[in-house]
Amino acid sequence: MLWIASDLLDQIRVHAAAAPGREVCGLLLGRDDRVEAVVACDNVADDPARRFEIDPAALLAAHRAARAGAPPIVGHYHSHPSGRAVPSPRDAADAAPDGTIWLIVGGGGGDVRAWRAVAAGEVERRFDPVALATA
């Protein structure tokens, strides 16, 4: 189970709704299976309407902050503006089986689901579903 405060989940939904024609993305910071903060990031993908790539500068800044005591990266979020909150084949191709959380916002922003990137997952052979709980 992944715990996330409802206001953080609302921030992610607002971010997704603000860019209906492109995928948005950001970082999930926390410890274990608890998200303590979210950081909206620029999508620097070559085709942001169809895929996402988190700005490397934001990733480096989050890793530096974690070394200084801030919560580490436990995963990231992104949107599927015209799709479902389910990992796509592109997501599976891009995901490392490292156990990180992938939070996906479906088109319209209402549906948000959590997934864990693993070696032989149930979905696209890369992701296992994770129950999402708001605190």
Phi, psi (degrees; rounded to nearest 5) at 65? -65, -40
- Is residue 23 flagged as an active site residue? yes
Question: For residues 39 and 47, what is the distance between their CA atoms, to the nearest angstrom?
Answer: 21
Question: For residues 73 and 44, what is the distance between their CA atoms, to the nearest angstrom?
Answer: 19
Given the residues 23, 36, 122, 124, select the one marked as catalytic.
23
C-beta separation of 81 from 92 below 8 A: no
Question: For residues 66 and 56, what is the distance between their CA atoms, to the nearest angstrom?
Answer: 15
Maximum alpha-carbon separation in the chain? 38
Q: Is residue 12 packed enough to be buried (19+ CB in 10 Å), middle (13-18) or exposed (0-12)? A: buried
Question: Catalytic amino acids?
Answer: 23
